């Protein structure tokens, strides 16, 4: 009842019209304002009344003619809607408004309109921003198309020239051009994939030890040739306080610095580039590292400084035409910095240069350098790891197959080939492999289906490490590989270094050394001592062997983790723990290796190849378990 009385009295007028959020005007057909509500003060800033003033005097001059025409057209209609215009505010700015008009001539036979005006300033800004981003995206797609076609054309052209019997010097030139084009293509693809991973929230950061005083010089050296070619001075300074162990992701730091330095080289035609690194501050075990990349290049206009970190954006469309690039580099840098709780800023002046400042917090370790490994030791380590590794390469593309086989041949691996997943499954049933390199898209049976078939096998065949090789390396594709049962993936195109890192550093696969036939093998163990001490008590011997088979795998798992984390004191203790059992079962070679490993682990820093030796020992111990189980069965 009370609500009906409220309506009858018209009391809602004050709440809806007078105090409403919309600006309400009543104007005659000539535009004279006869009434407006309080929103004129709240929304437009006018403290005094606008009644008796002309509505068109407040409309943006370049929209007045159009709005007068709309007024005339509205006089013939009872209702008009969504008429946009710009209205002058008290502070001399213009606001975008949109009105719906009720024609009082049709209702009350009065020559005027009720204009219900809504503020659409934000909507217009959003629309303009959407148009700007759409144009930027279209420009990006055009750039990407150009950037991808250019190296592909270069590769195709050089390959054609190689087929025309060139001289040795020409051949070297053509091969270098092909390699350069392929690297450019890989950079473009990696930029796109990195951005996709960042925006999907799937990018993961490592927490491993590194020393910036080791990382920076080798990184700078990769730009030395380009700088010399352009006659630019390239220098760097490192705060002595940074000669310490930091914990974080050195690969992503490398990526950040490479992007910034390559930009500096690209846009600097004379003068210098300097990279400086210093400790900004230290707080509760966290070191804030400040890195500056300063150049004397073309600089960035003030009005572009806010957009250079956006996706698909460069300071000017002509930049892409002149210098190339995807326009994603700085976007990726900003995202990588901020995902590590850091900050990036830029100072720049046109024709004077730019300075990019990156601030990233890292956990602090002891002030010491990580162990160094010489080139000779690295070569020895690679040969030690790869020799006699049994690899199954599953690839249907002739060129990709030839490329991967050549890499594996150089490493002295034993490589077998399967043209599709079905052939791979049959080969795995009948042979043992240390690792399977599995292409994903193949005819007959694809890589994911083949992986699922392998994981359903028995007799240990299901445990063979599988690395997916895929040109589709988006996060969704990676998740499909993982769901099918692959241990990891390697995006195409990959370099020999990429493949080596994936097999031996990421997955830590150690090949089974020399795989002789069972009949030719020496016994894996010797039960003489156990038989003697137990007076040939079979039950006792079986119990000892079963206990060893059950307890050894968890110990080896702990040892592998400790070695990966470089906790050598734990490796020493675990080696000591295994020794007595190895002696009881007559595994004398392994017992001696366990003793050597124990001693070396106590003085780890003097043995740069200790990690590979530990992994080889663990692999050899694991290789004994099937022989023991076979005896027990």
Domains of the chain: 18-119 (3.30.450.20), 125-199 (1.10.287.130), 208-364 (3.30.565.10), 375-506 (3.40.50.2300), 518-632 (1.20.120)
User: N- to C-terminal Cα distance for the chain?
Assistant: 91
How far is it, in rounded angstroms, from Cα 37 to Cα 100? 16
Three-state secondary-structure class, residue 491: strand
Look up tokens 């270098």; give the residue. Answer: 176
- Spatial neighbors of 483 by CB under 8 A, at least 6 apart, are none
* Confidence band of 517 (pLDDT split at 50, 70, 90): very low
Q: Find the helix or strand (DSSP H, E) in which 247 lies.
A: strand 246-248
181 with 151: CB under 8 angstroms? Answer: yes
Question: Would you tell me how many other CB atoms lie within 10 Å of the CB of residue 142?
Answer: 13
CA 563, CA 569: separation in Å to the nearest integer?
9
Q: In the predicted model, is pLDDT for residue 372 greater than 60? A: no
In angstroms, rounded to a whole number, what is the distance separating the alpha carbons of residues 523 and 201?
52
Structure confidence at residue 428 (pLDDT): 93
Instruction: Give residue-wise pLDDT tens across range 119-169.
Output: 998 888 888 888 877 876 776 666 666 567 767 777 888 888 888 888 888
Strands (E), 492-542: none
Please tell me which of 171-175, 237-241, 378-382 the model is most confident about, judged by mean pLDDT. Answer: 237-241
The secondary structure of 370-427 as a DSSP string is PPP--HHHHHHHHHHHHTT-EEEEE---HHHHHHHHHHHHHTT-EEEEESSHHHHHHH
The pLDDT score that the predictor gives to residue 468 is: 93
pTM of the complete model: 0.46
The predicted pLDDT at position 214 comes to 83
pLDDT digits (tens, 9 = 90+) for 94-116: 999 999 998 888 878 888 898 99
Closest by CA position to 266, among listed 230, 221, 313? 230
How does the average pLDDT of the chain come out, rounded?
A: 81
Find where tokens 């034993």 sit.
414
Residues 328 and 95: their CA atoms lie apart, in Å, by 35
Q: Which of 308, 311, 207 is nearest to 252 (CA)?
A: 207
């Amino acid at each position: 009842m009370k609500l009906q009385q409220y309506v009858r009295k018209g009391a809602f007028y004050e709440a809806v019209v007078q105090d409403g959020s919309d600006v309400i005007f009543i104007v005659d057909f000539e535009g004279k304002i006869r009434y407006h509500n309080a929103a004129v003060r709240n929304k437009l800033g006018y403290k005094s009344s606008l009644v008796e003033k002309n509505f068109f005097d407040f409309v943006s001059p370049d929209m007045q003619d159009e709005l007068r025409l709309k007024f005339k057209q509205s006089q013939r209609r009872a209702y008009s809607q969504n008429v946009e215009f710009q209205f002058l505010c008290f502070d001399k700015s213009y606001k975008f408004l949109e009105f719906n008009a009720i024609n009082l001539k049709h209702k009350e036979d009065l020559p005027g309109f009720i204009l219900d005006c809504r503020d659409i300033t934000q909507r217009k800004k959003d629309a303009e921003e959407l148009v700007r981003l759409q144009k930027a995206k279209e420009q990006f797609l055009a750039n990407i198309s150009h950037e991808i076609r250019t190296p592909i054309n270069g590769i195709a052209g050089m390959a054609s020239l190689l087929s025309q019997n060139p001289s040795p010097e020409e051949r070297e030139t053509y091969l270098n051009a092909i390699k350069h084009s392929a690297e450019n293509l890989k950079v473009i693809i990696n930029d796109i994939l990195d951005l996709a991973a960042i925006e999907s929230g799937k990018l993961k950061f490592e927490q491993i030890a590194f020393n910036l005083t080791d990382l920076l010089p080798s990184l700078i050296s990769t730009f030395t040739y380009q700088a010399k070619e352009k006659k630019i001075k390239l220098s760097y300074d490192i705060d002595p306080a940074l000669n310490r162990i930091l914990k974080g992701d050195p690969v992503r730091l490398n990526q950040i610095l490479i992007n910034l330095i390559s930009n500096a080289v690209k846009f600097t035609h004379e003068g210098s580039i300097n990279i400086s690194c210093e400790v900004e501050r230290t707080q509760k075990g966290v070191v804030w590292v400040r890195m500056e990349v300063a150049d004397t290049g073309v600089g960035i206009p003030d009005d572009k400084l806010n957009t250079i970190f956006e996706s698909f954006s460069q300071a000017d469309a002509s930049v892409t035409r002149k210098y190339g690039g995807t326009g994603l580099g700085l976007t990726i840098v900003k995202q990588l910095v901020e995902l590590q709780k850091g900050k990036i800023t830029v100072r720049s002046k046109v024709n004077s240069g730019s300075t990019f400042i990156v601030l990233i917090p890292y956990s602090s370790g002891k002030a010491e350098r990580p162990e160094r490994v010489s080139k000779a030791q690295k070569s020895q380590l690679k040969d030690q790891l790869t020799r006699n590794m049994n690899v199954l390469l599953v690839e249907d593309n002739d060129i990709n197959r030839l490329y991967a086989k050549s890499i594996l041949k150089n490493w002295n691996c034993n490589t077998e080939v399967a043209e599709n997943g079905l052939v791979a499954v049959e080969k795995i049933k009948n042979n043992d492999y240390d690792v399977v390199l599995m292409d994903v898209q193949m005819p007959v049976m694809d890589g994911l289906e083949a992986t699922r078939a392998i994981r359903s096998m028995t007799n240990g065949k299901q445990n063979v490490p599988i690395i997916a090789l895929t040109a589709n390396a988006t996060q969704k594709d990676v998740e499909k590989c993982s769901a099918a049962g692959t241990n990891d993936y390697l995006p195409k195109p990959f370099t020999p270094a990429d493949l080596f890192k994936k097999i031996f550093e990421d997955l830590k696969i150690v090949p089974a050394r020399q795989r002789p036939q069972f009949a030719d093998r020496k016994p894996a163990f010797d039960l003489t001592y156990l038989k003697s001490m137990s007076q040939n008590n079979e039950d006792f011997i079986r119990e000892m062997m079963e206990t060893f088979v059950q307890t050894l795998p968890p110990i080896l798992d702990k040892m592998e983790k400790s070695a990966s984390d470089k906790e050598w004191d734990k490796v020493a203790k675990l080696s000591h723990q295994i020794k007595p059992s190895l002696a009881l079962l007559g595994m004398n070679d392994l017992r001696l290796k366990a003793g050597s490993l124990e001693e070396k682990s106590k003085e780890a820093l003097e043995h740069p190849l200790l990690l590979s030796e530990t992994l080889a020992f663990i692999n050899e111990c694991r290789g004994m378990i099937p022989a023991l189980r076979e005896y027990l069965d």
